Amino acid sequence: MSAPRNGTTTAPARPGTFAAILRVYPYAKVAMPRVYLGMVSALVAGLVALLIPQVLARLVDGPLQDGDSSRIWGPVAIVLGLGVLEAAMIWLRRWFVLQPGTHIEARMRNGLYAQLQDLPVTFHDRWPSGQLLSRAMSDLNIIRRWISFGLVLLVVHLLMIVVGFAFLISINWMLGLLFVVCSVPLWIYGYVFEQKYSIVSRRSQDQSGDLATAVEESVHGIRVLKAFGRGKYALKNFASQAEDLRGTEIEKARAIAGIWLWLLLVPDVTFALCLLGGVWLAADGQLSVGELVAFFATATVLRFPVESIGYLLSMTFDARTAADRFFEVMDEENTITDPADPKTIASPRGRLVFEGAHFRYPDSPATHTDLLDGIDLELEPGETMALVGLTGSGKSTLTALTTRLYDVTAGAVILDGVDIRDLTRFDLRRHIAMAFEDATLFSASVRDNVLLGRPEGTDEDLAEALDIAQAAFVHQLPNGVDTMVGEEGMSLSGGQRQRLALARAVAAKPDVLVLDDPLSALDVDTEALVEAALRRVLASTTALIVAHRPSTVMLADRVALLENGRVTAVGRHSELLRTNDHYRFVISSLEDDDPPADVAEVPDDIPDDITDARRGVTS
């Protein structure tokens, strides 16, 4: 469960390269017949290329030796014919593997995306989106190229080498054996190369991912960086990460240089030895000149397959690393899933109950108590409950429990008598709609953004929701409600986004409305208008509203006070204001007009810092 942010993760007991890549098979299965056909075509092409030297040998020892120019035309025609066949086979190979590669890639990409959308928010809290993006883009690219190119050629070239060796040995067993023996160091070095290369390759891919994260943050956080003039400072951090990547890349180049050295040196030495031996044997009469020519022509055809093995191996290891990174996400266990046997709510009324609900973040240290430490709270149908507490008391987390963005770690949340874990997530989120303080709009029209929770909604639904959220500004946008907003559209102010997010929650017409401080970015006038309009909705809908302001609290029938992970008081605003010191401390801004008793007797449960601060205020 580690997020590989700094690229230092070391996998325990790596499975073999073959086993690791084989995991891609389910995605590749339907495409494999074409891949095999591609291999066959490539193999035929390779064999044809190997046949040409055989024809040459006949030609040299026959007509050329005899000086019979009339018999030259036949063999030349055969060489030409084989040449055309080779080209045709290469065309076939390309044609066969064209679709599989891209389809496998597309399938894996859609699969990854589906998995990422399904994984709980805790996963996304942990994984920077740059790491996810590099998996979805470059890693899958690598796998595609390996399947349609690397894999096919690796298999075919290995086969060609075997057949070619057989040809060489059949021409002259001593020369052929010499050639084969001399190739052995290449395989040994290729193996050593794997060890070295795959480590560096993995590091390079991780570092690329980290660099992508740095880029993303520098763009998303551009306002902060500008406000403090920290562009250069950010550059320094970015540059040092880029330097790390450069170091890794050069290390990678050294490894590649090493294998190049052997890939060129060994065949050349082999050729030199074969030349020596071949001419010697020819002088001795054990080998005809034609056979000598065929030997070198065959050996030359084999050079590319032999040399390519190193490159293809490194491609394979890259693909393996990419597959590892892909499955790292795919293997992530989803802790928030639909029940095997989901229940439904026959007649939803909107009664929401927290029963001893506990929650702690998976990585919070054992010494910490649960963030939510046994929440008991009941919202009757149609009731509006405000949730009040200090910053960090877990209000937002509590709201996130209602739609299972997080799951309770103990206890339960119950909607109309059904544990929400017994509902499908889709169903649950149809019953409960949320508006977040941090309002996210998607690249789509205003209409689609507002009707997100009710795609079948009519123009009237849209107008009503916009009206309640006081979002009439959308009519002033260039294309009204059809104006594109979000990443690829117009950028809106925080207040505007917040109102659209509120409209979205309202438009979903849920049984329970959960609003996480939905009015924080609005000015006083607009807030008053929104509140007036919201009352109409809240009259009939169960609602849980995180409130920081008295004005928001006024929307609620009752208020729940969240303190040290528990609900310590529930009641009407005026009642709590009168009877509960902590409540007054949390919600009241009227320090001057209301020189209350709470200055003298500070309740025990108020953290020290606040006590200190308040001493500072009063002294």
Partner 1 sequence: MSVLGVEGEERNDFSPEESRQIRQRSIRLLGSLLSPTRARLILTMCVVVISTAAQVAGPALIAIGIDRGLPAIVDEGNGTPLALVVVAYLLTGVIGAVLIAWYTVLAARISQGILIDLRKRVFLHTQKLSLEFHESYTSGRIIARQTSDLDAIRELLDSGINQLVQGLLYMVFIGIALFSLDWVSGLVLMVFLVPLGVLTRWFQVRSQRVFRETRVASARLIVHFVETMTGIRAVKAFRKEKRNAADFAGYVEGYRDSNSRVIALFGTFDPVLVLIGNVALGVVLLVGGLRVADGGLQIGVLLATLLYTRQFFAPAQEMAMFYNSYQSAAAALEKISGVLEEQPSVPDPTRPIDLWNAKGRVRFDGVEFAYRSDRVILPRFDLDIPAGQVIALVGSTGAGKSTLAKLMSRFYDPSSGAVSLDGLDLRMLHPKDLRRAVVMVTQEAYLFSGTVSENIALGKPEATRDEIVAAARAVGAHDFITSLPGGYDTDVNKRGGRVSAGQRQLISFARAFLADPVVLILDEATASLDIPSERLVQEGLTTLLADRTAVIIAHRLSTVAIADRVLVMEHGTIVEDGTPADLIAGTGRFSQLHAAWRDSLV
Select from 183-191, 216-224, 320-328, 595-603 the region that touches partner 1 (CB under 8 A): 216-224
> Which among 150, 272, 127 is positioned nearest to 206, based on CA atoms?
127
Question: Using the rule CB under 8 A, is 426 a contact of partner 1?
Answer: yes
Count the neighbouring beta carbons within 10 Å of the beta carbon of residue 273. Answer: 15
Question: Using the rule CB under 8 A, is 11 a contact of partner 1?
Answer: no
The answer to whether the CB of 538 falls within 8 A of the CB of 555 is yes
Identified binder of partner 1 from the candidate list 14, 254, 535, 572, rule CB under 8 A: 254
CA–CA distance, 197 with 203 (Å, rounded to integer): 10
The answer to whether the CB of 124 falls within 8 A of the CB of 44 is no
Question: Using the rule CB under 8 A, is 252 a contact of partner 1?
Answer: yes
Per-state percent for the chain, helix, strand, coil, to nearest 5: 65, 10, 25
Residue 1 or 283 having the CB closest to partner 1: 283
Residue 84 or 177 having the CB closest to partner 1: 84
Minimum CB distance to partner 1, residue 155 (Å): 18
Where in 144-173 is the site for partner 1 (CB under 8 A)?
Answer: 148
> Which among 142, 260, 252, 256 is positioned nearest to 200, based on CA atoms?
252
Where in 270-299 is the site for partner 1 (CB under 8 A)?
Answer: 271-273, 275-276, 279-280, 282-283, 289, 292-293, 296-297
The answer to whether the CB of 148 falls within 8 A of the CB of 101 is yes
Strand 418-419 with 410-415, pairing? antiparallel
The answer to whether the CB of 39 falls within 8 A of the CB of 94 is no
Where in 116-145 is the site for partner 1 (CB under 8 A)?
Answer: 116-118, 121, 124-130, 132-134, 136-138
CA–CA distance, 297 with 272 (Å, rounded to integer): 14
List, in sequence order, every residue forming a beta bridge with 412; answer none if it has no partner: 355
Minimum CB distance to partner 1, residue 474 (Å): 12
Residue 20 or 448 having the CB closest to partner 1: 448
**One-letter amino acid identity for 227?**
A
Q: Which helix (H) or strand (E) holds 485?
A: strand 484-485
> What is the secondary structure of 372-390 as a DSSP string?
EEEEEEEE-TT-EEEEEE-
Minimum CB distance to partner 1, residue 224 (Å): 5
Where in 452-491 is the site for partner 1 (CB under 8 A)?
Answer: 452-453, 455, 473, 486-488, 491
Residue 176-215 contact track with partner 1, rule CB under 8 A, x = bound: --------------------------------x--xxx-x
Structure tokens at 166: 């057989």
Residue 165 or 262 having the CB closest to partner 1: 262
Residue 243 or 459 having the CB closest to partner 1: 243
- Strand, coil or helix: 546: strand
Select from 54-62, 179-187, 344-352, 559-567 the region that touches partner 1 (CB under 8 A): 54-62
Q: Which helix (H) or strand (E) holds 452?
A: none
Question: Using the rule CB under 8 A, is 585 a contact of partner 1?
Answer: yes
Q: Which helix (H) or strand (E) holds 573?
A: helix 573-579
CA–CA distance, 45 with 88 (Å, rounded to integer): 8
Question: Using the rule CB under 8 A, is 361 a contact of partner 1?
Answer: yes
Residue 30 or 272 having the CB closest to partner 1: 272
Where in 381-400 is the site for partner 1 (CB under 8 A)?
Answer: 389-392, 396, 400
Where in 319-358 is the site for partner 1 (CB under 8 A)?
Answer: none
Minimum CB distance to partner 1, residue 529 (Å): 10
Specify the DSSP class assigned to residue 419: E
Tell me the site size for partner 1, rule CB under 8 A: 185
Strand 542-546 with 384-389, pairing? parallel
Q: Which residue has the tokens 């108590």?
A: 369
Question: Using the rule CB under 8 A, is 551 a contact of partner 1?
Answer: yes
Where in 71-90 is the site for partner 1 (CB under 8 A)?
Answer: 72-73, 76, 79-80, 82-84, 86-88, 90
Question: Using the rule CB under 8 A, is 28 a contact of partner 1?
Answer: no
Identified binder of partner 1 from the candidate list 517, 530, 555, 559, rule CB under 8 A: 517
Minimum CB distance to partner 1, residue 174 (Å): 16
Select from 58-66, 175-183, 193-201, 407-415 the region that touches partner 1 (CB under 8 A): 58-66
Question: Using the rule CB under 8 A, is 36 a contact of partner 1?
Answer: no
Question: Using the rule CB under 8 A, is 30 a contact of partner 1?
Answer: no
Minimum CB distance to partner 1, residue 393 (Å): 9
Handedness of CA 574, 575, 581, 587 (dihedral sign): negative
CA–CA distance, 442 with 289 (Å, rounded to integer): 74
- Strand, coil or helix: 286: coil
Q: Which helix (H) or strand (E) holds 482?
A: none
